[in-house]
Amino acid sequence: MPCPHRFINLLIPNWEIEHLFIGTFNPSWNQNNAVQADYFYGRIRNNFWCILPKIFGGDSLKYEVLNTKLTYIQTNRIGITDLIINIMNAEIENLNDVNNLTTGFSDNVLNQYQLEFNTTHIKSLILK
């Protein structure tokens, strides 16, 4: 069974954007029983939601609920997406695949997999 993106249905913002942040991949598989991200870069150990609002002159959203984050990025015309939609040849039954995709979050391990990219959607979004 492939490993799809955790936010597969949220990869393309449906609001007008001026700023676009493009990451790599967030696996839908459980991350070794860690607290799951509620949205892009939402894991507690990640500082994206602390730094992003400060860039635009606001306060940290690191511990805010999802609706607060979504309202913020929509109001500030910010889009967030990732390059990869799906890891095609990963198997959830394969402990090596699970460890590769759910611990350390290193983009380097992705090179060994067959990747389904989001580039067509991203290009359309940029052109729009």
What would the pLDDT profile of 27-86 be if each residue is shown by its tens digit?
888 765 555 778 888 877 789 999 999 999 999 999 999 999 999 999 999 999 999 999
Given a cut of 70, whether residue 100 has pLDDT beyond it is: yes
Q: Quote the pTM value.
A: 0.87
- Residue 60 CA to its chain's centroid (Å): 19
Q: Which two tokens stand for residue 12?
A: 């393309």
Residue 45: how many CB atoms within 10 A of its CB?
7
Encode burial over 89-113: b for 16+ CB neighbours within 10 A, e otherwise.
ebeeeeeebbebbbeeeeeebbeeb
